[in-house]
Amino acid sequence: MKVNKKTLAQILGVTERSLTQWLKEDPPLPRQGTEYETKDVINWYTRREVNKVMVETPKDRLDRIKGDREELALMKDLEMLAPLDMISAAWNTRVTACRQDLLGLPLTLATEIKARYGVDVDENILLNKIETCLLKLSASMDNLDDEDEEEKIEDIE
């Protein structure tokens, strides 16, 4: 439906002056004479309003950052956060202990299998598999691409 600017302003619930200013700043699809296609203008108006909400102004960004800082400070005061070095040290201790346990498994398993079933097990086979798994978990592997990783794993096996 085609309408004039006055009717269009009424449809949108704004003054004709506001609509005129908006149309100068960001015109919708071309009009035909003094009339506008209602559907096209409503789509334009919807996009315009959505874009206003989605655009973060420098003040909005600053307010968001200040709010984030306040939230972090509160979490720290409530002892809901721990320093990275404390977490890192505890994590490294646990990972090292787990690694040592895994590397000790071949001897333990070989001995237990021999005692229970009378079967000799080559500890090196078990050790190689465990080392391969540890290598995959290793942080140093993060920097290698898939091809290099496969070559390194094949070397261990």
Picking from 37-41, 59-63, 137-141, 142-146, which range would have the lowest pLDDT averaged per residue? 142-146
pLDDT digits (tens, 9 = 90+) for 71-120: 999 998 998 988 888 888 888 899 999 999 999 999 999 999 999 999 99
Calculate the CA 35 to chain-centre distance: 47
pLDDT at 145: 47
Radius of gyration (Cα) for the chain, nearest Å? 34
Angle of helix 16-25 relative to helix 5-12, nearest 10 degrees, comes to 100
Residues facing residue 153 across a β-bridge: none
Stated as kind and residue range, the H or E segment containing 37 is: strand 35-37
Q: What is the pTM of this model?
A: 0.42
- 152 three-state secondary structure: helix
pLDDT at 5: 84
